[in-house]
Every structure is written in C-alpha cells, then in structure tokens.
C-alpha cells in the first residue's frame, strides 16, 4: 500500500506539471490567429463590429460550449445566471495563476481576470470555447504587446488550471482510500474484509490476477504491480469522476490528450528501460525473418517504429474514447437549445425528453467505458512490459 501511495504521488507531480492547458491542446482547440484575435479585439474594433456578428458573438454557440466544457481552463466554471437586467454572470471557483515574465513571478487568483473581462498586472486572459484559453501580456493602453516578429507576447504559464487541480483532488482521494483500506487490514487482521476495504481488495486482486500476472509473468509481475495498480486506479477513478457533472468532479482529465500522453510516456520508458537483450535482439534481428529482409533493414525499421507507435496508440485510445463520450452527452444537451432558438421553445421542450433520455443512456454506457478503458490501458501496458522482460522458452529450458 505504501508503494502504491508513493506511485500515486509521483503520478500526481508528473501529470500536474506536464498536463497543462498549453500542452497538446491543438487536438481540440485552435490558438488565436492574430494579436487582435488573441485580445478579443480592441474596444474600437468591437464598436465597429456589424450587428450580425455582434449578435452571433453574444448568442448561443453550441460548438464553443461543448469544446469549452471538455478542454482546460484557468477557473472551474460552475454555472451561469442572469440578473433582472438580462446580464449574464458566471459562477466559478478561482484557481491560482502562476506566471513568469521578464524574470519575475506573478501569482494571483484567476478571479482577478473577471472571467476574461478585465486585465490584471499587465496580463489578459483570452480564448476559451473553440479557442485555446491562454494569458497574454498587454500594455498600459490595454493593447497586446508584440515582439520583434509581430507575435503576441505571452508569459510562461505554470498556473494550476482545471485539469491539474482535478488531478490533485483525484490523487488525494485515492491516497485517502488506500490508507483507509490499509488501516482496515490493521484493525481487522485475520478477519474477512469489510466495506471499502473489501472493494479495494477486489480491485487489487483483479488487477494482479487477471492483468499483471498473466501478462508479465510469474517471475517479474511483483516488480511492476505497484505501477499497474496506480495506473488502473488513477484512470478508472478519473474516468468515473469525469461523469459527475459538479465540483469537485466533472473535469475531463482522461479526455485531455496531455494526461494520456504522459501516462503513455511513463509506460514507454518503463518498457524500454526494463527490456532485456532478447527484447532488443528481436527488434533488430527478428527471428524467423528471411535474411534478405535483415540485410535490407526493412523489418528492423518496422519493429523499431512499433516501439514508438505502441505508446501513441495507448495515448490516442484513452483520450479519444473519453473525450468522445463527453462530447456526445453535451451534444444531446445543446440540441435542446439549438432547436429552441432556431424553431421554437415548444419544439425544444419536446426534444428535451429524448435528449435527456439519450444523455442518461450515454452516461450509463460511459460507466462501462470508464472501467473498460482503465482495464485496456493497464492490460496493454502490462503486455508491453511483459514482452520486454520475459525470456524466450528455449532460454528457460
């Protein structure tokens, strides 16, 4: 249990540092194309905007809402409400903003930006929705600062955004669960497990006996069991937390490609560092392959490419499945508002019955997918490591 807790902490630090909104965000969002676009336009530009564009900007944008909910952000958005005057106000949990610019560090809460409507200390929060949310530098006149090449100046952003904050919460909750189970064994030594202890033991035994031991082998599995347990529990718990639509859950952790990429990279390094001489021999001198294919190094190139494509497959499979589930559910929900705005409120109300039913069905299906994806990622990781450490049968003989 101590080794599992330590590995969970190491996963937390790795993911919190590297799974940042500026990492791998191009998969679901696009950066602002210009200085004016990055700043949301100057006041004069906004005043000269045609009425059609202004109305569209302030109207219902389903694409922006869907992408905004599945990507990262500098605050934890809860809900919006309208005042009697018709003004929209967002309710969100502010998160720490940590910026490094010109050699000095600025730390403050994201609430200083007022959800992107105000500048603070020469910084502005831009983007969101279909555009990547990021912080840029502005001058005293509120204009974006430009470098010599004409690009918008951006500080180094080490903020604890929504995804890293969710990772912290998940890891802390997992450590608490593991410690409760550990204390249960101390108090109930020699007795049958009970309550949370029973659930944890069931999952641990399942991962050990159905995944790690068959894939890695009897001789080596205990060495890699703590990592496999940490991997399975983190992915499974993150998937389940992402299905709960309110704080402290609701963050799309495993639907963020930066998170899945770091998990895949960890498996990649463990696999190749643990690889024995037979593993590398099979890559560069594959047995059973005609000699001319070895002289003309076609097979070694193919096998070497496989070393790098395996973690890529791990990364994309988990990311795509979890992000797609969230997008489908949100798609059914926004369909109500699309039809209400385009046709009538009564049509939207009628469609809402089917939208809610389909959303509930997809959520129930996602509960199964949450388990399957944790199982598949852990199983494939164990399989890759097992292929790297196992000895050939003739060597054992």
* Spatial distance between the Cα atoms of 339 and 345, rounded to a whole number of angstroms: 8
Counting residues of the chain whose pLDDT is more than 90, the rounded percentage is 25
Give start and end residues of each alpha helix (H) in the chain: 2-18, 35-38, 43-47, 51-58, 62-70, 162-187, 196-206, 213-216, 221-242, 257-274, 277-284, 291-295, 298-342, 345-389, 393-396
- What is the distance, to the nearest Å, from the Cα of residue 217 to the centroid of all Cα atoms in its chain? 31
* Spatial distance between the Cα atoms of 245 and 120, rounded to a whole number of angstroms: 30
**Structure tokens given for 195:** 């309550």
User: Residue written as tokens 């001058």?
Assistant: 139
Domain boundaries, the chain: 21-159, 164-396
**Structure tokens given for 338:** 């699309």
- Segments of the chain scoring below 50 in pLDDT: 4-6, 8-9, 11-58, 395-397
Q: Cα angle at 384 between 381 and 389, to 5 degrees?
A: 120
3-state secondary structure of 114: coil
The pLDDT assigned to 232 comes to 95
The pLDDT assigned to 378 comes to 94
* Spatial distance between the Cα atoms of 253 and 314, rounded to a whole number of angstroms: 15
User: Residue written as tokens 């009970």?
Assistant: 194
Region of residue 142 (phi > 0: left; psi between -120 and 50: alpha; otherwise: beta): left
Which stretch of DSSP H or E encloses residue 128?
Answer: strand 123-128
By the 8 A CB rule, do 226 and 208 touch?
no
By the 8 A CB rule, do 98 and 160 touch?
yes
* Spatial distance between the Cα atoms of 174 and 233, rounded to a whole number of angstroms: 8
């Amino acid at each position: 249990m101590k080794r599992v807790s330590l590995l969970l902490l190491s996963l937390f630090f790795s993911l919190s540092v590297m799974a940042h909104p500026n990492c791998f965000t191009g998969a679901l969002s696009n950066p602002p194309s210009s200085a004016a676009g990055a700043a949301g336009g100057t006041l004069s530009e906004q005043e000269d905007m045609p009425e059609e564009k202004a109305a569209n900007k302030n109207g219902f944008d389903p694409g922006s809402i869907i992408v905004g909910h599945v990507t990262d952000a500098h605050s934890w958005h809860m809900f919006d409400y309208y005042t009697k005057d018709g003004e929209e106000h967002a309710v969100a949990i502010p998160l720490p903003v940590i910026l490094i610019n010109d050699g000095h560090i600025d730390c403050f809460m994201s609430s200083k930006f007022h959800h992107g409507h105000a500048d603070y200390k020469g910084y502005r929060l831009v983007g969101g929705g279909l555009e990547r949310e990021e912080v840029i530098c502005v001058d005293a006149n509120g204009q974006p600062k430009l470098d010599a090449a004409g690009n918008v100046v951006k500080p180094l952003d080490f903020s604890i955004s929504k995804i890293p904050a969710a990772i912290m919460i998940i890891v802390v909750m997992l450590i608490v669960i593991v410690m409760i189970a550990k204390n249960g064994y101390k108090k109930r030594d020699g007795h049958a497990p009970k309550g949370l202890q029973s659930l944890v033991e069931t999952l641990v035994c399942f991962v050990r006996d159905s995944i790690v031991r068959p894939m890695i082998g009897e001789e080596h599995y205990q060495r890699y069991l703590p990592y496999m347990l940490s991997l399975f529990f983190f992915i499974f718990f993150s998937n389940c937390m992402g299905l709960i639509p309110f704080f402290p859950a609701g963050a799309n952790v495993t639907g963020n490609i930066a998170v899945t990429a770091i998990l895949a990279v960890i498996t990649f390094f463990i696999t190749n560092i643990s690889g024995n001489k037979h593993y590398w021999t099979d890559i560069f001198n594959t047995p059973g392959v005609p000699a001319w294919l070895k002289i003309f190094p076609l097979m070694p190139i193919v096998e070497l490419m496989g070393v790098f494509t395996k973690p890529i497959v791990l990364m994309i499979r988990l990311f795509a499945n979890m992000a797609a589930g969230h997008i489908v559910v949100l798609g059914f929900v926004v369909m109500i508002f699309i039809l209400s705005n385009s046709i009538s409120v009564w049509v939207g109300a009628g469609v809402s019955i089917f939208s809610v039913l389909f959303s509930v069905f997809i959520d129930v299906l996602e509960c199964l997918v949450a388990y399957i994806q944790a199982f598949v990622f852990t199983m494939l990781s164990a399989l890759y490591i097992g292929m790297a450490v196992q000895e050939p049968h003739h060597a054992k003989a």
